[in-house]
Amino acid sequence: MSLLALLGVLSSMIYSGTSLLYATIGEVVGQRAGIVNLGVEGVLLISAATGYGVTVTTGNPFIGVLAAILAGGLINLLFGFLVISRKANQLASGLAVMFFGVGLSALIGKPFVGQKINSLPRYMLPGLDDLPLRISSLFRFDLLIYLVIPITILVWWLLFRTKWGLGLRAVGENAETAFASGRNPNLVKFQALFVGGLLTGLGAAHLTLAFTMNWAEYMTGGRGFIAIALVIFAKWHPIRAIVGVLLFSGAVAFQLLLQVSGVRISPFILDMVPFILTLVVLVIWGGSSKHAAPATLGRVYQGTE
Amino acid sequence: MKNIKRMLVIFLVAVFVLSACTPTATPTAADVAPVQPTDVPVQPTDVPAAVESPATEVVEEAPEEEGTCLVVGATYGGPINDAGYNLSMHEAVAAIKENIPCVEIIEAENVYDEAGAASTMENMISQGANMIFATAYAHQNPAFELSKKYPDVIFEHAGGWMMSGNFANIFGKPPDLWYMKGVAAGMMTETNKLGFVAAFPLAWTNVFVNAYTLGAQSVNPDVEVIVAYTFGWGDSAKEADTTNSLINQNVDVITMHVDSPQTVLSTAESRGVYSIGYQNLAAQQFAPEYWITGSGFTLGGKFTWLASTVIDKTWTPIFLRCGFEDGCMKLAPFGPAVPQAVIDKVAEVQAGLEAGDLLAFAGPIYDQDGVLRIAEGEVLTDDAMSTVDWLVKGVIGSPK
């Protein structure tokens, strides 16, 4: 195993982990306010298709990023209308959003399949200019990669160090009490979902405009669901989500490294490794996370008399 | 709350299990390549009678306006602007209209499943279509069923094997092109390592990898080909990851067998690595600088000829497999980085394959474990290609 291969795993973890981390912290914000959105996959897809389409049309990937963010926020508001205003079951509504997203994104993305885009520009990490291109190209990152950790910390700060975050978490723990202390639980839930959607949109923008430079139907391939699993793994904490994301994307990169190193294990088995790992972690953490989950997660807030 | 959490965990488990085992997209005809029947081509002697009567009826029956000589319906398994297989099929159908202006075309793209294909084709027939081109793998069964119900309509399917009085199959022959691309890659590589991004370990993917490797080894005996699988026909993120991990093994030429070449080519280009395309010649736009060459289906001429035989009522069901020598497949133009010596060598190999002096799969051929698969003096027949579950010596990666 060469140095290049090991650095490559690191680079892959960062590249493929970025969209996952945005989606995960987006879901953390929503769940902290007590709302499970199983439709992350659909939100990612709609945002990705919108961002890609806008980039093709305008020729500017930054406008595409904005469009993807907005699309994510709007779809989450639609989901909020279902589960907050209409008081629908969150799990069922989330699945509906997922399937809706698969269909709608295919429709939006249809004219842009096979179209070339100007992908998000990449900037070299300072000090690496002298390395050979094969290695230095591993560490040329786009803006969304540079921003992902600061934004994660910002989300942590918002949730745990601001009054708004305190209110949001209070709503997730017990909406009635939050109401009694003068907050509007439904408004807070809408805000949380909107912010979560914006973050998910950032993830989709990175996936399509920076990483794959392509739009293809159902291109997320289950990443939205991985994000939901990582929320549990991270015990609803944005900073811990970084560890989970690195673990998952590292496992993907590592199994590919095994494949291309000529290890004689069936590639079918290797391909399952990241999922098995996530499952094992979920099973282990599942029992000990009762104090971490927001107390009224998934429960419909019926309003206070 | 506990229940919700329990449900969530159960649900996630289900999702993981499913997403770990199932492909995310339906393979198109090019992906699950054809099984070759043993008794082809069908003897044309007993067929004309069967074809003549429906053809006459068609002309009376079709509710078309003055000047329309034939209505052609075409179904595609994905979007026709995919710069890949579906674009190739769409171009072939469009060529009919260009060459025979009195033909009218009805098209339907993104027809994924069998049920959708059946109703789409039936709808086309009700709009007056007297000839159907079903171009996706999943369209073969429904088209065959409809051909029994509508004996007056001529059906052509791309990439399958079924045949009847009004149903026939047509496809290109990709392996020779893969051999030529291998020759180009073998000459271009400096690290002697070539990368191959594949969706699934399928028999036809193995055939392509083998032809590519043998071509490369014919000009560069030290060359290795590394194969890695994405387990999805359109999982772009996995394609980018896989391409990168191959490049990190010091691979300096990348090629692929997935639905759309876009992500793999763009990723290789961003890392400064040569690439070779497949499915459609338009793939070159994604790798302007490091493109070597590619291959695509160019079935327009044959589709036009088939339509013309329907118009003049001489159509007979022929099991048609045609390669680059018949104009059904083409090598893409070479990129700016390719020296003349490589272009000349590929041309020489092409001439050899065309003349039959050179065969892509001529024995002796050994597999990865050194087992003799094709003995000296023998060749891998077209029939045997659909069951290939081994990779030739020099390939790193698992064939199953």
Residue-level pLDDT at A304: 67
- The pLDDT tens digits of the residues spanning B263-314 come to 999 999 999 999 999 988 888 999 999 999 999 999 999 999 999 999 999 9
**How is residue A263 written in tokens?**
């290890």
pTM of the model: 0.83
Contact at CB, B234 and A257, closer than 8 angstroms? no
Chain centroid offset of residue B281 CA = 12
A84-95 residue pLDDT tens: 999 999 999 999
Residue in A12, A114, A268 nearest the CB of B82: A114
- Nearest-CA residue of chain B relative to A259? B228
Are the C-beta atoms of residues A125 and A7 closer than 8 Å to each other?
A: no
- pLDDT, greater one: A200 or A216: A200
Question: Least CB-CB distance to A214: which of B4, B236, B244?
Answer: B236
Report DSSP state, residue B79.
Answer: -
Please check the confidence at residue A79 and state whether its pLDDT lies above 90.
yes
Chain A CA closest to residue B369:
A264
Q: Is the pLDDT of residue B381 over 90?
A: no
Assess whether pLDDT exceeds 80 at residue B49: no
Domain-embedded: residue A296:
no
Average pLDDT over residues B200-206: 90
Q: How far away is chain A from the Cα of B250, in angstroms, using its nearest Cα?
A: 8
Asked if residue A225 belongs to a domain, the reply is: yes
- What is the pLDDT at residue B232? 85
Q: Please report whether residue A305 resides in a domain.
A: no
pLDDT per residue as tens digits for the range A258-289: 888 888 888 888 888 888 888 888 787 765 65
A79: buried, middle or exposed (CB in 10 Å: 19+, 13-18, 0-12)?
buried
Residue A59 lies in a domain: yes
The pLDDT mean for chain B works out to 85
The answer to whether position A299 is within a domain reads no
Structural domains counted in chain A: 1
Which chain B residues are closer than 8 Å to A282 by Cβ? 9, 12-13
Average pLDDT over residues A9-13: 92
Q: What is the per-residue pLDDT for B7?
A: 62
Q: Which residue has the higher pLDDT, B259 or B225?
A: B225
How high does pLDDT run on average in chain A? 91
Is residue A133 domain-resident? no
- Residue A138 in any domain: the answer is no
A220-233 pLDDT, tens digit per residue, is 988 999 999 999 88
Mean pLDDT lowest for which of A68-82, A202-216, A275-289, B361-375? A275-289
CB contact under 8 A, A266 and B87: no
Nearest-neighbour CA in chain B from A279: distance (Å) = 7
Residue A236 has pLDDT above 50, yes or no: yes
What pLDDT is stored for residue B19 in this prediction? 53
> A255: domain range?
3-114+143-286
CA dihedral A236, A239, A241, A243 (to 10 degrees): -140
| Degrees, nearest 5: CA angle A235-A240-A246 | 120
Q: Over pLDDT 70: what percentage of chain B?
A: 84
Residue of A nearest to B271 (CA): A137
Q: DSSP assignment of chain A, as one string?
A: --HHHHHHHHHHHHHHHHHHHHHHHHHHHHHHTT---TTHHHHHHHHHHHHHHHHHHHS-HHHHHHHHHHHHHHHHHHHHIIIIIS---HHHHHHHHHHHHHHHHHHHHGGGTT----PPPEEEPTT-TTS-HHHHGGGEEEHHHHHHHHHHHHHHHHHHHSHHHHHHHHHHH-HHHHHHTT--HHHHHHHHHHHHHHHHHHHHHIIIIIIS----TTTTTTHHHHHHHHHHHTTT-HHHHHHHHHHHHHHHHHHHHHHHTT--S-HHHHHHHHHHHHHHHHHHHHTT-TTTS-TTTT-------
Residue A292 resides in a domain: no
Tokens read off for B205: 């993917």
What percentage of residues in chain A have a pLDDT greater than 70?
97
Please report the domains of chain B, with CATH numbers, ordered by start residue.
Answer: 44-173+299-326 (3.40.50.2300), 174-296+331-396 (3.40.50.2300)
Check which CATH number belongs to the domain holding A73 and give it: 1.10.3470
